[in-house]
A and B are shown apart, each in its own frame.
Chain A
């Protein structure tokens, strides 16, 4: 039973990681806690649902299109709600993000109604694979695989491409990067595009996995992803993955040990506990205090 619970935990953690990756990337570049990230994930799931149910598309095509929709949305949101606030207090941008989040979840509620919607059963063929006494479904494997793949490709983009170099320069020093000829607006738009597309992919996968998509799924998912990102060290891409998986495993093992009523408390207690000993998260860089 322990192995089964561990698999449950890793699969759940991977869904957190999927959202946390985009969160942490946006944070890494402009130090914004993007509370609207969870809503983009939710919109991504709904977009795919529309493509599957109404346009009868293949789920993979629907996922790519949903990513495209959210990519565009991420860029537009950044342009309207965050760009004008780039030089103001970071809290102003935070409130703006909360405004966007309220707007998006209400919009989806008005269009799709309040009840949860599910993907059709046959949309993704699920096969159970037995490993000893435990079993893992093909969908769980896919989620774990995709989140690992996305993490690696993000690492690659950030560390081995030209735009990645520009991203790192922007995150180090916005003004100097601009002076050195980096088109910071483009870099930030790109970051949002990438992050939002990731969120959409996460939304679709999680939507199929749990078979439920609802207008209010973004908030809690966003919070957990935020917690995962901070746990791993916010701004660090492998950290988001590690934080997500750790959070998922701890939660599930807590339930397995018979503390299902304290599930969320366990997750956050681990987070606070880790921060006590490593104030910048597991893989986070030390904050350099400028004197």
Chain B
């Protein structure tokens, strides 16, 4: 009953916009996860798409083989990705800076090759994923997840945990001196990031309806990183904006036909030059909103969610 009603509701929206809108939603989930790892904690990861692939294949295989309820399926995908996040994060998070970056890239490439050689992933032929087992239409599911992830990220960033993560980004040694177990916190951040990537991957698999290990390569990881950096490192509204813009950009630029990616590349360069800290880096959206509504913003501690120096320093 409710399912049918929701289905009709979704059908009211123009199908083309809906398609883009859902892709944006999935991109937001992925970007927010990476934002926690790279933006907030300052650990550059070039392998985020690997966790997405774990979520996508876990979700896809669960639907194909077991036809489990989609909510169970979604959580399992996230957990599986988080498990791998811990497994991989444990050894490599000792590394710092670009050595960590290449190690994450390396793991992503290794995972891709392994998935290409497994029977359960159907090797290079990939899997066609059937519709998920849920009465709720997928677009609504995606956007509910987006809202949940945004809420969770706001809570995390404003918690003691989030402040510890930011302390690690600003100065790892100082943070350690202050009694923060940096390795543990980094692994936790990594696991949460992987969990959201798993959610994103599972939703992606069911929405796109076909997955292939090659889809989750280096370029996909870089796409997600673009969103986070362009939006403004550490900023939740920034990641949302970055993901929305970069997902919609190829559609907006479609009229340029073959010159589109030329413009896209140049656009990336110029956006970075004009907003080196990202579009919303150093902008407090909360203050902007308050200003627009004519309310005096309540003062907050200096390390608020999306203010000041975010994005200046990633080691």
User: Which of A124-132, A137-145, A271-279 lies at the interface with chain B?
Assistant: A271-279
- Tell me the minimal C-beta distance from B94 to chain A in angstroms: 7
Would you call B149 an interface residue if the criterion is a C-beta within 8 Å of the partner chain's C-beta atoms? no
Interface digits, A254-291 against B, CB 8 Å rule (1 contact, 0 not)?
Answer: 00000001111100110110011001110000010101
- B residues 243-260 near A (Cβ < 8 Å) are 258-259
CA distance A124 to B105 in the complex (A): 36
* B117 and A100 within 8 A (CB): no
Chain B residues contacting A80 (CB-CB under 8 Å) are: 269
Chain B residues contacting A281 (CB-CB under 8 Å) are: 99
- B residues 266-298 near A (Cβ < 8 Å) are 266-269, 272-273, 276-278
Q: A275-B95, A291-B173 are in contact. Are A92 and B229 (CB under 8 A)?
A: yes
* A279 and B94 within 8 A (CB): yes
Chain B residues contacting A219 (CB-CB under 8 Å) are: 218-219
> Looking at the complex, which one of A87, A95, A101, A287 makes contact with B229 (CB distance below 8 Å)?
A95
Would you call B215 an interface residue if the criterion is a C-beta within 8 Å of the partner chain's C-beta atoms? no
Would you call B265 an interface residue if the criterion is a C-beta within 8 Å of the partner chain's C-beta atoms? yes
CA distance A136 to B277 in the complex (A): 51
Chain A residues contacting B109 (CB-CB under 8 Å) are: 264-265, 268
Interface digits, A6-47 against B, CB 8 Å rule (1 contact, 0 not)?
Answer: 000000000000000000000100010100000000000000
Chain B residues contacting A237 (CB-CB under 8 Å) are: none
Q: Determine which residue in A27, A261, A268 has the highest number of CB atoms from chain B within 10 A of its CB, and name it.
A: A268
Closest to B273 in A: A84
> Looking at the complex, which one of A104, A262, A272 makes contact with B113 (CB distance below 8 Å)?
A262
Would you call A65 an interface residue if the criterion is a C-beta within 8 Å of the partner chain's C-beta atoms? no
> Looking at the complex, which one of A92, A280, A291 makes contact with B99 (CB distance below 8 Å)?
A280
User: Which of A155-163, A172-180, A191-199, A222-230 lies at the interface with chain B?
Assistant: A222-230
Tally chain A residues at the interface, Cβ within 8 Å: 50
Closest to B309 in A: A89
Tally chain B residues at the interface, Cβ within 8 Å: 52
CA distance A102 to B268 in the complex (A): 9
* B268 and A275 within 8 A (CB): no
CA distance A98 to B314 in the complex (A): 17
Would you call B147 an interface residue if the criterion is a C-beta within 8 Å of the partner chain's C-beta atoms? no
CA distance A151 to B266 in the complex (A): 33
* A89 and B311 within 8 A (CB): yes
* 23 A-B residue pairs with CB within 8 Å: A80-B269, A84-B276, A87-B276, A88-B276, A89-B277, A89-B314, A94-B225, A96-B268, A96-B269, A96-B272, A101-B265, A102-B261, A102-B265, A103-B261, A106-B261, A226-B105, A230-B99, A265-B114, A268-B105, A268-B107, A272-B110, A279-B94, A287-B96
List 7 extra interface pairs beyond A95-B272, A104-B265, A234-B99, CB under 8 A: A85-B273, A92-B278, A99-B266, A103-B265, A110-B259, A227-B105, A268-B105
Contacts from B to A (Cβ < 8 Å): 38, 44, 91-92, 94-99, 101-103, 105-107, 109-110, 113-114, 116-117, 172-174, 218-219, 222, 225-226, 229-230, 233, 258-259, 261-262, 264-269, 272-273, 276-278, 311-314
